[in-house]
Structure 1
Amino acid sequence: MKLSTKGRYGVKAMFELALAHGNGPTSLNIIAEKQNLSIHYLEQLFSSLRKAELVRSIRGAQGGYILARNPEEITVGEIIRTLEGPLAPSDCVIENEDKGHDCNRAGCCVTRTVWKKIWDSINDVVDNITLQDMIDDHDKMTSEEGYMYYI
């Protein structure tokens, strides 16, 4: 399973906001420069992140974006799902209240069981990594002498 640029760039951008948490708003220009990302693409991503209430926009000359919650309260899973949708390896494991499963064999399909285990594992990992965890990892990596860390 491979994430699109939406999910990957969104996590990078949110990491930059987490690093700046408590220091006021960060402009998209700064995030784009630090992460070598397109500002136009970031604008699209931040529209979704703002609607999901993961970030807040601050208007004005010194404006930009801030995290809507503390870094320890925002998970990588929330960010990726906001930008990518469900992280299911197959549509058959996504339970839809309106339609149920599209496959008429869902109740007796062995491969669906495999996809469900993969999906549960992926969700468990991304839902247990917070932006604060990323900051902590970053601090450990950058404190090693001579090591430069990029995400």
Structure 2
Amino acid sequence: MTVTGSASPQPINPDKPEISFLPKDYKATDCNLDNPVVISAQVEEPLVKKVLMDPGSSVDVLFYSTFQKIKLSDKAIQLSSRELVGFAGEQVPIRGYIWLQTTLGNYLDYKTVDIQHLVVDCRSPYNIILGRPSLNEFNAIISTVHLCVKFLS
């Protein structure tokens, strides 16, 4: 059985211009192309290192240990009694969520957006996970081959 359909041309969206990666964008230091894309981002005031860019995550996660290190008040967390379910079905209680101004880029080329971070209290090698919601908000494209991310500033 086959299904055929006519492919209608996709409308051109000026908010989503072309982004490409060039050989000069290659940041990998070894031949292992399975490394995650990890960056630094300014979250409110401090620069936060070890921010995982994860297009497989449906939420943006701020780990409670990082929340404490950037000296935010627990009163700023909007409480939630839900649980975050991981890829393997593991469940992590959500302490709540918080909206934080998050900046990607450098001094001349940057973009700042308000991101809703779920605050979870569990161990992680990362401080923050930026998932599809923030990647879409930034119009960010990740290249795991180049180990970099590009977005329009």
Q: Tell me the TM-score normalized by structure 2.
A: 0.26
Specify which structure has the higher proportion of strand.
2
